[in-house]
Structure 1
Amino acid sequence: MQQSGRPHVAFEVHESTQVGAVRRAAVQLAESLGFDEVAAGRVALVATELGTNLVRHAQRGRLLLGTVAGDEGEPSVELLSLDHGPGLGNVSNCLTDGYSTGGTPGTGLGAVRRLSNEFDLYSAVPAGTVIMARVAAGGRPAGGGAPTALPPPCAFTIGAVTLAAPGETVCGDAWAAVQDGPRAAVLVADGLGHGPQAAEAAQAAVALFETTPFGSPSAVLERAHQALRSTRGAAVAQALLDADQGHLLFAGAGNIAGRLISGVGDRSLVSQHGTVGLQIRRLQDTRYEWPAHALLVLHSDGIATRWDLSLAPGLLQHHPCVVAAWLLRDHLRGRDDATVVVLKRRGAA
């Protein structure tokens, strides 16, 4: 199973007129992915409900719109709702039809969950809420989270959020992941600067990685160093994980941050100085133990490095995409491309 990231598009949602813009963009994206009228209609309803919820109840609301491949390769539209408060005091109640704190029918979040093939929500009072809703082109909605097919044999669940720098139409960051049974390989690249030339460098690193994803991370980066010599260069990091062996191998050059997070530990992964394609020292793989319930977080320098997920109790139990969106919500620098990739064992609590 192979995954790679297209940048999300961000919409500020503070007033009702902005909800329509998000809905139209979401439907246009769905149609570009081959969604039929019924599936595109579900996307429109989810976008409308999430946007309306932000306008009525949230502070500093934002919707991110992107695409993701499902477990069986089918395209899905991904909608991420981010706000900065006041948070949901009782999430179960808020997902129950008829429940409302604002004098409305109270069907918004319950409808979103029913219409989505994948849905997750994390909220803290008064910090705010992140909601993930994914609508697939085919198949039936999950109807509240029930699986529509047996889970695939891949051992890991991956979530990511990518945003281009303000004013840019292309993103200078790129990421990719490949899974094969108990193994997973993931790479994040940040092209020097931003704009089309940065994107060229980052995509070249991804293309090289996808040819031999399960090789030694340091060897992959050495080959990328040669492949990127005709570009402006990139910061690149790769991790190779094995769920059966309980460890990961890591190598990086430049300012891609990596951390292993669990309920009892927080360990940084060490990258060396340098820029792949321009100048690096000889790279080596570093081995780290992989605790059963740990998350791997990789992010570019568009995200500030001083973050602490212990300040969001229970967040680690949620979908990696929700974790990535929470990190981006609170630690986005706002002046460069930004990418957060989060990976954990499938089914880990």
Structure 2
Amino acid sequence: MPGGAMVAAIDGVGHGAAAATAAGIVASIVSRSDDHDVQSLMTRCHEELRGTRGAAITLAWLSFSACTMTWVALGDVEGRLLPAQRGEHRDRALRLPGGVAGHDQPTLAPETVEIHRGDVIVLATDGVDGIFADALELVGAAHEIAERIIDAHWSGTDDGLAIVLRWLLDGEQRAA
């Protein structure tokens, strides 16, 4: 997408083909969309999932020019923004309102936060213990951090997904 990137973490409810179908519907909608409004995109996903098992979804729009992230969740896909220098900025946790896309959609409250060079963004499904960020070392490549999260915090009884991104743009690109 021009000007930024949309990131989605999707977890179809349950297991098997029905869960995969629900997740596939969301992935198709997000990948074909030019919309960077996370609230309208989430509403579209919710509507298209009616009649399916549904899904837990977190969407994050990363604005390259503003060095910001606008994110929203529906269901239990954890989102964390971890500063490159712990203590420099506070860790941010995405508000999880509950609900299931396709079944019950509470009032969504997208949040926009600044992102600084070196900050790490993590999205993780409910198969990953939510304490993963408490003592996470932000060293190494993003895929190495994701592997450490899964190795240490995957429940082993549910699907486990950890998406890790490291922000590499300087704040000097921020819009005035």
TM-score bracket for the superposition, by shorter chain length:
0.7 to 0.9
Say which SS state the counterpart of residue 193 (structure 1) adopts.
Answer: coil
Query: CA offsets per residue over residues 184-241 of structure 1, 9 Å max, x none?
Result: 1101111111111101101111111112154211110100111001211001110001
Query: CA offsets per residue over residues 245-280 of structure 1, 9 Å max, x none?
Result: 121101111000000012223210112110000111
In 2, Cα distance between equivalents of 1:217 and 1:223: 10
Query: CA offsets per residue over residues 291-345 of structure 1, 9 Å max, x none?
Result: 2221110010010001246453xxx242111110010000010001111101122
State the match for 1:219 in structure 2.
40
- State the identity %: 28
Corresponding position: 1:318 with 2:140: yes
Corresponding position: 1:270 with 2:91: no
In 2, Cα distance between equivalents of 1:276 and 1:234: 5
**Which of 131, 155, 159 is matched with 1:306 structurally?**
131
TM-score (structure 1 length as normaliser): 0.45
| CA 213–318 in structure 1, closer or farther in 2 if over 3 Å, else same | farther
Q: Any runs of at least 4 consecutive aligned residues in structure 1 with deviations exceeding 6 A, and if so which?
A: none
Which of the two has greater strand per residue? Answer: 1
Q: Map of 1:136-147 to 2, 5 A cutoff? A: none
In 2, Cα distance between equivalents of 1:201 and 1:185: 19
Say which SS state the counterpart of residue 338 (structure 1) adopts.
Answer: coil
TM-score (structure 2 length as normaliser): 0.87
Corresponding position: 1:334 with 2:156: yes
Say which SS state the counterpart of residue 130 (structure 2) adopts.
Answer: coil
Q: Does the 8 Å CA contact 1:232/1:277 hold for their aligned counterparts?
A: yes
State the number of aligned residues: 166
**Which of 72, 86, 108 is matched with 1:251 structurally?**
72
Name stretches of at least 5 consecutive residues in structure 1 with no aligned partner: 1-178
Q: Which has the larger radius of gyration?
A: 1
State the match for 1:175 in structure 2.
none
Equivalent position amino acid for 1:319 in 2:
A
Name stretches of at least 5 consecutive residues in structure 2 with no aligned partner: 171-176
State the match for 2:106 in structure 1.
281
Q: Does the 8 Å CA contact 1:214/1:240 hold for their aligned counterparts?
A: no
Equivalent position amino acid for 2:67 in 1:
G
Corresponding position: 1:343 with 2:168: no
